[in-house]
Amino acid sequence: MRRALLRHRRLLAAVLLCAAAGTCVEAFLPRGEPGAPVLAAASDLAAGTVLAAADVETLTLPSAAVPPGAQAHLKGLLGQRLAAPLRRGDVVTDTRLVGPGLLTGTAPGTVAVPLRPADPSTVRLVAAGQRVDVVVSTGNGYETAAASDVIARNLAVLWTSPPGEDSSSAWSASPAEAGLVVVAASAGDAAALAGSSTAGQVHLVLTAGR
């Protein structure tokens, strides 16, 4: 009887010791961080997409993994236009949307300037991230001498709108207008670019960047 009681006591002591060890280990393990909800693409989305509720889904990420500028509120996102394509699962951030976020990371004083090239097909040849020189051509070679001048160099393309695209954004071309190209420019270049369409025909020349 004593042997059985002693055996049970030893077994109980071993169980209690294991429980105490488990409690100590758990106390030293890092606790899970609370997740943060963010909006992400529910499918592959093309640049220029006007976002609807079906285009996005809510994901929960660790707080440390949430990228800067991540969008979390559906109401404020609806109707906004993508400035760049998204893969399914990509988090929607302010830099992916047409608007002030396009200037993120640029030098202080940089502004976004919309241009309308004389040849609408040019818009299809440029894309966000490329660099362009802006050339203005005047004269027709008959009544007045033809001349071309580079008025701004090495400008980053922020966004493009295909010609004739149906517009639901302040930065989009209307169906009756040629496509727009939005570039990042310094204040000095912006002044020259602002009057370029009235000075002559605007042309964009792709550059390798410097």
The per-residue pLDDT for 2 is 52
Question: Hey, which CATH number is domain 35-97, 3.90.1210.10, 3.10.310.30, 3.30.70.920, 3.30.300.20?
Answer: 3.90.1210.10
Q: What is the pLDDT of residues 34-68, one digit of tens each?
A: 789 999 999 999 877 889 999 999 999 998 899 99
How far is 122 from 42, CA to CA, in rounded Å? Answer: 31
Q: What is the pLDDT of residues 117-146, one digit of tens each?
A: 988 888 888 888 899 999 999 877 677 777
Split at pLDDT 50, 70, 90, the class of 7 is low
Please report, to the nearest 10 degrees, the dihedral formed by the alpha carbons of residues 43, 46, 50, 56 taken in order: 20
Q: How many Cβ atoms are within 10 Å of 165's Cβ, its own excluded?
A: 19
Q: Is the pLDDT of residue 208 over 90?
A: no
Q: What is the pLDDT of residues 10-37, one digit of tens each?
A: 555 555 555 554 444 444 445 556 789 9
Contact (CB, 8 A) for 50 and 80: yes
The per-residue pLDDT for 101 is 82
3-state secondary structure the chain: CHHHHHHHHHHHHHHHHHHHHHHHHHHHCCCCCCEEEEEEECCCECCCCECCHHHEEEEEEEHHHCCCCECCCHHHHCCCEECCCECCCCECEHHHECCHHHHCCCCCCCEEEEECCCCHHHHHHCCCCCEEEEEEEECCCCCCCCEEEEEEEEEEEEEECCCCCCCCCCCCCCCCCCCCEEEEECHHHHHHHHCHHHHCEEEEEEECCC
The per-residue pLDDT for 196 is 83
Split at pLDDT 50, 70, 90, the class of 97 is confident
Domain ranges within the chain, ordered by starting residue: 35-97, 102-207
The per-residue pLDDT for 33 is 62
Q: What is the pLDDT of residues 144-172, one digit of tens each?
A: 777 889 999 999 999 887 545 444 444 44
Q: What is the pLDDT of residues 177-200, one digit of tens each?
A: 457 899 999 999 998 898 887 888
How far is 166 from 177, CA to CA, in rounded Å? Answer: 10
Whole-model pTM?
0.62
Split at pLDDT 50, 70, 90, the class of 88 is very high
Share of the chain above pLDDT 90, in %: 37
